[in-house]
Copies of this chain bind each other. A is one copy, B any other.
Amino acid sequence: MKRTLLAVEYSGEEETIAVFAKALGHPVRIKILKLLASQQCCFTGELTELIPMAQSTISQHLKALLEAGLIQGEINPPKVRYCINQESWAKAHSIFEAFFAPDRVFGCDCPIVERAQDDMCPS
């Protein structure tokens, strides 16, 4: 992939949101998180019984969630227990909350206009 010479700079917040969001960007991972969140005790491989996907595929999705920090696993041979990482969960909660806070968003009054009016935009 060709890359631009000047790399785009991202703030920590931008990177963090993107990492969390990317991990949430597949419905099966949402399903897995919901299952884990609803378990009183942490999970093992019942996921393969609940989700009709190859064991290796589910393991791959678990790895993605692990790497984003949203879950944690505890080896308990031959099983592994997964559960929500509460700290990251809280962090994701607050960062998304702040991002979507309505007061951060200016109202968009842009009407559908026939013609641009130069004085409509400050810039």
Measured CB to CB, the residues of A under 8 A from B are 4, 6-8, 10, 13-15, 17-18, 20-31, 34, 37-42, 44, 46, 51-54, 72, 74, 76-77, 79, 81, 83-84, 86, 89-90, 92-93, 96-97, 99-102, 104-110, 112-113, 115-116, 120-123
Contacts and interface: CB of A to CB of B under 8 A. Distances in A.
Number of copies: 2
A52 B8 contact: yes
A54 B109 CA distance: 29
Contacts of A25: 18, 21-22, 24-25
A74 B111 CA distance: 8
Given A89-B102, A116-B79, A28 B40 contact: no
Contacts of A102: 89-90, 93
A72 B115 CA distance: 18
